[in-house]
Amino acid sequence: GAVVSQHPSWVICKSGTSVKIECRSLDFQATTMFWYRQFPKQSLMLMATSNEGSKATYEQGVEKDKFLINHASLTLSTLTVTSAHPEDSSFYICSLHGRLYGYTFGSGTRLTVV
Amino acid sequence: GQQLNQSPQSMFIQEGEDVSMNCTSSSIFNTWLWYKQDPGEGPVLLIALYKAGELTSNGRLTAQFGITRKDSFLNISASIPSDVGIYFCAGQLLRGGATNKLIFGTGTLLAVQP
């Protein structure tokens, strides 16, 4: 089956700094990648859809200048949380979609901003 | 963001009992998916449903795609302690062209007492 590697699994950063999260497909080419955010005891909320080679599409209420998404290749998408603040602390999960395997999720990144 | 209504919110059962949870939406979906999420991990696909009325099993799990395409249920028979976790339904919206995004349910926390 499809394997998605998400890195780092957890990160603690100071308020005002930026954090980059990587999502990598190890064994298939993903034309579309999705980024989700999950607050404690809540469901996964879609933040943006990332298509290789084009600009990401953001969901309503998600600031595109704060959550920078780069989908430079068919195997890598990155999410950068810029000028992070404590309210950005959350569990971020990527999902890749491929024709053969459908949707496959990364293991998530726990971001804590102090 | 949009979410699906999932019930019950939580269940506390004895090992060996059967479990049932469902998901409803005001929107029509062309695909229903059921996921399990363990703490600190990304969701893992349990069952995928692609046709209205479809009934699919995966071991002790059985799920059905509602005839109206606006609901789905998941049953777990003879629960075991490792069934503990959060279960999410997800619907794939109809959308032409690009890969359809998933909308997640609010989740059902399952606790199984040995």
What is the per-residue pLDDT across B27-86, written as a single tens digit (0 to 9) for each?
Answer: 889 899 999 999 999 999 999 999 999 999 999 999 999 999 999 999 999 999 999 999
How much is the mean pLDDT over chain B? 92
Per-residue pLDDT at A88: 97
- Cβ–Cβ pairs < 8 A, chains A and B: 57
Q: What is the distance in angstroms between the Cα of B5 and the nearest Cα belonging to chain A?
A: 11
CB contact under 8 A, B33 and A103: yes
pLDDT for B97 beyond 60: no
pLDDT for B3 beyond 90: no
Chain B residue with CA closest to A45: the answer is B1
Residue of A43, A50, A112 to mutate, testing the B interface (most B Cβ within 10 Å of its Cβ): A43
Q: What is the distance in angstroms between the Cα of B9 and the nearest Cα belonging to chain A?
A: 11
Of residues A4, A102, A108, nearest to B40 (C-beta): A108
Identify the band that residue B20 occupies on the pLDDT scale cut at 50, 70 and 90.
very high
Among chain B, residues having any CB pair with chain A shorter than 8 Å are 1, 3, 33, 35, 40-45, 48, 88, 98-99, 101-107
Per-residue pLDDT at B1: 60
Least confident among A19-23, A39-43, A50-54: A50-54
Beta bridge partners of A4: A25
Among chain A, residues having any CB pair with chain B shorter than 8 Å are 4, 6, 31-32, 34, 36, 42-46, 49, 51, 59-61, 91, 93, 95, 97, 102-108, 110
CB contact under 8 A, A32 and B107: no
Burial of A4 per CB tally in 10 Å (0-12, 13-18, 19+): buried
Of residues A44, A59, A110, nearest to B104 (C-beta): A44
In whole angstroms, give the CA distance from residue B87 to residue A100. 24
pLDDT digits (tens, 9 = 90+) for A35-50: 999 999 899 999 999 8
Per-residue pLDDT at B73: 97
In whole angstroms, give the CA distance from residue B107 to residue A55. 31
One-letter amino acid identity for B53? Answer: G
Which of B36, B64, B24 minimizes the C-alpha distance to B48?
B64
Chain A residue with CA closest to B91: the answer is A103
pLDDT for B98 beyond 80: no
One-letter amino acid identity for B73? Answer: F
In whole angstroms, give the CA distance from residue B47 to residue B65. 11
pLDDT for A21 beyond 70: yes
Identify the band that residue A1 occupies on the pLDDT scale cut at 50, 70 and 90.
low
pLDDT for B95 beyond 70: no
pLDDT for A26 beyond 60: yes
pLDDT digits (tens, 9 = 90+) for A65-109: 999 998 878 889 999 999 999 999 999 999 988 777 788 999 999
Average pLDDT over residues B11-37: 95
Q: What are phi and psi of B70, to 5 degrees?
A: -115, 5
CB contact under 8 A, A46 and B107: no
